[in-house]
Amino acid sequence: MLKTKCDVDVNIQKLCPLSLGSAIGVTSFIAVLIWTLWVMHYGMSPMMLEMHIPMPTLSDGFVHALFALLKGFVFGFFVALFYDLFACCFACCFAHRKSHKKRK
Residues 27, 72: contact at Cβ < 8 Å? yes
Q: What percent of the chain has pLDDT over 90?
A: 48
- Quick check: pTM over 0.75? no
Residues 23, 76: contact at Cβ < 8 Å? yes
What are the tens digits of pLDDT across the range 59-85?
Answer: 999 999 999 999 999 999 999 999 888
What are the tens digits of pLDDT across the range 36-67?
Answer: 999 999 988 888 889 888 888 999 999 999 99
Domain edges within the chain: 15-103
